[in-house]
Structure 1
Amino acid sequence: MENGIYRQLQQYLHQLPCGFPEGPKGTDIALLKTMYTPEEAALCLRLTPEGQTAEAIALSHGGNVDTIRPMLDAMATRGLLFRIRIQETPHYVLMPYVVGTFEFQLNRLSPEYNKAHNRYMMDAMGMEVFGGKTSQFRILPVEAALEDTQTIMPHEKIRRYIEEARLIAVSDCLCRKKAQAEGRGCDHTLKACLSLNEFAEFYLEAGMPTEIISKEAALKLMEDCEKEGLVAHTQNAKDEVCYICNCCVCSCGIFSTVARFNLHSQIVRASWQCRIDPEACTACAACMERCIFNALSPGENGKMEVSRGKCMGCGLCKSACPSEAISLVQREKRFQPDVPADPQEMYDRMQAEKNRPLRMLSMKSLKARVSGQK
Structure 2
Amino acid sequence: MSSDVYARLRRFLDALPAGFPETPSGTEIRILKKMFTPADAEFVMNLKDTPEPAADIALRIGTDEAEAEARLEELSRKGLIFKTYRDDRRLYQAYQFAIGLYEFQVNRLDREFCELYEEYLPYLALSQARLTGQHRVIPVESSLQETSSVTPYNRIREIVRGEELISLSPCICKQERHMLGQPCDKPQEVCMMFGHFARFYIDNGYGRPIGVEEALRVLDVAEENGLVLTCSNARKLETLCCCCTCCCPMLKNIKGLRSPARYILSYYRAVMDQNACVGCDACIGICPMDAIGSGEDVPELNEKRCIGCGLCVSKCPAGALSLAELQDRKEPPPTIEGVMERMAAERGLR
For the aligned pair, the TM-score class normalised by the smaller chain equals over 0.9
Q: What's the TM-score, normalizing by structure 1?
A: 0.88
Written as runs of structure 1 = structure 2, the 5 A alignment for 1:146-157 is 146-157=144-155
Structure 2 CA distance, aligned partners of 1:134 and 1:14?
16
Q: 1:204 aligns with which of 202, 216, 220?
A: 202
* 3-state SS in 1 of match to 2:83: strand
Q: Does 1:343 align with 2:336?
A: yes
Task: State the match for 2:127 in structure 1.
Answer: 128
Aligned residues: 349
Residue 35 of structure 1 aligns with an amino acid whose one-letter code is M
Task: State the match for 1:229 in structure 2.
Answer: 226
Structure 2 CA distance, aligned partners of 1:259 and 1:64?
52
Asked whether the 8 Å contact 2:269–2:324 carries over to 1, the reply is: yes
* 3-state SS in 2 of match to 1:352: helix
- Given the superposition, is the C-alpha separation of residues 105 and 221 from structure 1 closer, same or farther in structure 2, using an over 3 Å criterion? same
* 3-state SS in 2 of match to 1:245: strand
Asked whether the 8 Å contact 1:172–1:191 carries over to 2, the reply is: yes
Greater Cα offset, 162-171 or 39-48: 162-171
Pairwise CA distance, 1:64: 4.1
Structure 2 CA distance, aligned partners of 1:133 and 1:90?
30
Q: 1:142 aligns with which of 140, 147, 163?
A: 140
Task: State the match for 1:175 in structure 2.
Answer: 173
Q: Does 1:287 align with 2:283?
A: yes
- Given the superposition, is the C-alpha separation of residues 83 and 235 from structure 1 closer, same or farther in structure 2, using an over 3 Å criterion? same
* 3-state SS in 1 of match to 2:147: coil
Q: Does 1:84 align with 2:84?
A: yes
Task: State the match for 2:266 in structure 1.
Answer: 269
Deviations 1:185-207 (A, max 9, x none): 21111111111111111111111
Q: What's the TM-score, normalizing by structure 2?
A: 0.94
Written as runs of structure 1 = structure 2, the 5 A alignment for 1:53-72 is 53-72=53-72
* 3-state SS in 1 of match to 2:137: strand
Q: 1:317 aligns with which of 312, 316, 322?
A: 312
Task: State the match for 1:189 in structure 2.
Answer: 187
Pairwise CA distance, 1:66: 4.5
Written as runs of structure 1 = structure 2, the 5 A alignment for 1:360-371 is none
Deviations 1:244-296 (A, max 9, x none): 111111111221122134553232112x2112222333443321210101211
Task: State the match for 2:321 in structure 1.
Answer: 326
Q: 1:218 aligns with which of 203, 215, 218?
A: 215
Asked whether the 8 Å contact 2:238–2:336 carries over to 1, the reply is: no
Structure 2 CA distance, aligned partners of 1:133 and 1:302?
42
Query: Identity across aligned pairs (percent)?
Result: 31
Q: Does 1:119 align with 2:119?
A: yes
Asked whether the 8 Å contact 2:229–2:241 carries over to 1, the reply is: yes
Q: Does 1:48 align with 2:48?
A: yes
Asked whether the 8 Å contact 1:185–1:250 carries over to 2, the reply is: no
Q: Does 1:251 align with 2:244?
A: no
Residue 71 of structure 1 aligns with an amino acid whose one-letter code is R
* 3-state SS in 2 of match to 1:190: coil
Pairwise CA distance, 1:62: 2.0
- Given the superposition, is the C-alpha separation of residues 302 and 26 from structure 1 closer, same or farther in structure 2, using an over 3 Å criterion? farther
Pairwise CA distance, 1:139: 0.8
Residue 34 of structure 2 aligns with an amino acid whose one-letter code is T
Q: Does 1:2 align with 2:2?
A: yes
* 3-state SS in 2 of match to 1:323: coil
Unpaired stretches in structure 1, ≥5 consecutive residues: 358-374
Residue 128 of structure 1 aligns with an amino acid whose one-letter code is S
Pairwise CA distance, 1:148: 4.2
Structure 2 CA distance, aligned partners of 1:233 and 1:8?
33
Structure 1 CA distance, aligned partners of 2:218 and 2:239?
14
Written as runs of structure 1 = structure 2, the 5 A alignment for 1:89-104 is 89-104=89-104
Pairwise CA distance, 1:117: 1.1
* 3-state SS in 2 of match to 1:75: helix
Structure 1 CA distance, aligned partners of 2:247 and 2:214?
24
Structure 1 CA distance, aligned partners of 2:102 and 2:252?
17
Task: State the match for 2:347 in structure 1.
Answer: 354
Asked whether the 8 Å contact 2:107–2:172 carries over to 1, the reply is: no
Pairwise CA distance, 1:159: 1.8
